[in-house]
Amino acid sequence: MDGQDVAALNDRERARYRRTRVGLVFQQFNLIPSLNVAANISFHANLAGRYDAAWEAELTSKLGLEAFLGRYPEQLSGGQQ
């Protein structure tokens, strides 16, 4: 993948590769019900040590999510989720 032989990586290296190089779009939303939209957006970036407030603001704006940041997943339609 992208010049990397992932079969040659050990478990720890594959996990790091997935965390830093691979994006996933799940069939189900996988939003954390106890976190609002803003926290759901930043959660994985924080886990990976890659949180960037400026990028989050830009992404939120591009996706038109500004009005939804304080809402929780149950307060969103399926399309918004």
Query: Per-block average pLDDT, block size 10, for the chain (81 residues)?
Result: 92 92 76 94 85 91 92 90 84
Residue 50: closest CA among 19, 10, 5: 19
Q: Is the pTM of this model over 0.75?
A: no
Whether 81 is covered by a domain: the verdict is no
H or E stretch covering 33: none
What is the reported pLDDT for 28? 72
What is the reported pLDDT for 33? 95
Residue 62's domain comprises 6-75
Whether 44 is covered by a domain: the verdict is yes
Whether 80 is covered by a domain: the verdict is no
Q: How many CA atoms lie within 13 A of 2 on its CB side?
A: 5
What's the structural domain count of the chain?
Answer: 1
* SS3 at position 37: helix
